[in-house]
Amino acid sequence: MDLEVRWHHVSHYSRKHLMVSRNLGSVGYDSNEKTFDKILVANRGEIACRVIKTCKKMGIKTVAIHSDVDASSVHVKMADEAVCVGPAPTTKSYLNMDAIMEAIKKTRAQAVHPGYGFLSENKEFARCLAAEGVIFIGPDTHAIQAMGDKIESKLLAKKAKVNTIPGFDGVVKDAEEAVRIAREIGYPVMIKASAGGGGKGMRIAWDDEETRDGFRLSSQEAASSFGDDRLLIEKFIDNPRHIEIQVLGDKHGNALWLNERECSIQRRNQKVVEEAPSIFLDAETRRAMGEQAVALAKAVKYSSAGTIEFLVDSKKNFYFLEMNTRLQVEHPVTECITGLDLVQEMIRVAKGYPLRHKQADIPINGWAVECRVYAEDPYKSFGLPSIGRLSQYQEPLHLPGVRIDSGIQPGSDISIYYDPMISKLITYGSDRTEALKRMEDALDNYVIRGVTHNIALLREVIINSRFVKGDISTKFLSDVYPDGFKGHMLTKSEKNQLLAIASSLFVAFQLRAQHFQDHSRVPVIKPDIANWELSIKLHDKVHTVVASNSGSTFSVEVDGSKLNVTSTWNLASPLLSVSVDGTQRTVQCLSREAGGSMNIQFLGTVYKMHILTKLAAELNKFMLEKVAEDTSSVLHSPMPGVVVAVSVKPGDMVTEGQEMCVIEAMKMQNSMTAGRAGAVKSVHCRAGDTVGEGDLLVELE
């Protein structure tokens, strides 16, 4: 079966599976190759669903673990059995080794797949499993320990003749030692958790003050996320690309590199967009990186799927960053271009089977792009967490070349307790251009209601001219959006298209309102109006629009331009496919109010408009405008989270930019600072408090 057919087949197949995604390729599952009867998946969300799906295909029974708030989650419904391991906080549930070990004994699971995060790189957990005769589906404990510790892994990489970044090979004791080391290495430096991963516990420092702050915040994040607050410091390579090599090893001394993934689009050191292969690498550099990655894997007798991360400069010099001894979040793009199911390979290796492939067998077939869809507000620091309930949720699996890994469904809650990822949206094409076009279409057709999400940012990234050319680095977002993300900037043509679509929708809703079960109502506006004169406010500018309709086509005059808008006008559908003078657009009407407000998602960005008839617009001029609140003297929480520390008290004098409190949201520490200088009037939070978005934290006089 070729790749194109395979994708189409899986899209059809996936609709039977509780809206979990979903596509793994036409990988061979040998029913005669016995592995395990039952596997416990020590994780939650999309990665738990992902592992369970492969287990089902291999004929393996699965056990899900869950916290009490996750009792109705998709991964729980997918598994054959489920065990509650504690309350919502991760330390009391998904990181609770005693409860998980008890669940293993209770269900008699023979093996455990840890997914990523949580206990996936915890050597103590692997040792506990080994002591009970339970197989850990991952590398041996010595490899987890060696590669999970950034200090030891760097020394081993040097010994294996892998290129490494200049830095301090030891644990930094305190903030002042951090400053001394940073000065010796030379600014800028990267402060990072020794046991870390996933961008947590990492800070870039450009001077002594940032080093002291970075040491404090990174150590707190590291302790919260990994239970280990040790830090190290190394030279920060400015404008690098983040390119990683997927490796796969077995217990017989065999190891392969499965090509690379480009993961340079990041915010706060966390990846947002990934792709395979990298547009930057040539065959020679790819082979050199792959061979060094395999050399390191063999040096630690690595047996499972793992990833060697590199920083690559503009001259294609590459430096070892770290090794993740687990399945990566972005592993689907590698599966797309190689045809391998990495979870299946991990299970086979854990059972003791040798690898089925040779290095020469590993292809680069086509191109794959992954966007991490988060419940985040991209207009705040490129993505501060959002919480809420998914009131409507519809994945774009009807499109060709689309795979979605998710663990949610309509009605699912995105809470403060866990990572705010909604899903991983992956598109595959014969080349990069096709994969990106499919991603653009998939983002337009993705329906997510009830939480704020980052689709606007994702779509802008993949259509950005620099990204399309491959001119990217880990500073891409801050370089392209130095003043923060503002959404899609409409061209004149796109603005006219949006106004024409909005006015057509307005008239379509008015016409529908005049009819009820095939009987005309007493119309508010006469139904025989030939031309609708409308006033549309967009971005504080008022546009006069004239619309008329003939069947399913609206003729709209916008600022002197005439456009024809055609659609089926199924106003009950969350998605509306519209043709504007032959240009096809998929839009979403998110809300519409009687007072004229209408929110439309167009080209990924939500545009707030106010649409009134000419008469209503004339009368609206007599309405008083609401005066905007002065927020310079108050500090509101920009996101839901937990207050970790409060640095001020009533009567204290603060300067602009001074830290007043620290909020932890989804395991990231965020310093909240004063917007202006002044005296503290009152403090409305204490360490340990749970706060919501918009909650008042501190008032200044």
Order of strands across the sheet with 421-429? 318-324, 305-312, 241-249, 255-267, 270-276, 367-374, 421-429, 402-406
Token pair, residue 176, equals 């002042």
Task: Say if strands 135-136 and 111-113 run parallel, antiparallel, or are unpaired.
Answer: parallel
**Cα–Cα distance for residue pair 646/664, rounded to 1 Å:** 12
Are the beta carbons of 654 and 700 closer than 8 angstroms? yes
Closest CA to 318 of 344, 339, 337, 291: 291
Please say if 244 is a catalytic residue: no
Euclidean distance between CA atoms 508 and 576, whole angstroms: 12
CA dihedral 386, 387, 389, 393 (to 10 degrees): 30
CA angle 174/308/56 to nearest 5° reads: 115
Tokens found for residue 24: 């793994």
Query: What is the rounded CA–CA span in Å between residue 559 and residue 232?
Result: 59
- Among residues 46, 322, 395, 460, which one is catalytic? 322
Q: How far apart are CA 565 and CA 180, in angstroms?
A: 65
DSSP strands (E only) in 87-172:
111-113, 135-136
Both tokens of residue 110?
């023979």
111 and 350 Cβ atoms separated by less than 8 Å: yes
Asked whether 613 and 534 are in contact (CB, 8 A), the reply is: yes
Structure tokens at 685: 């939070």
The contacts of residue 91 (CB under 8 Å, 6+ apart) are none
Beta strands per DSSP E along 523-568: 532-538, 541-550, 553-558, 561-566
Tell me the H-state helices in 470-516: 476-480, 492-513
Known catalytic residues are 322
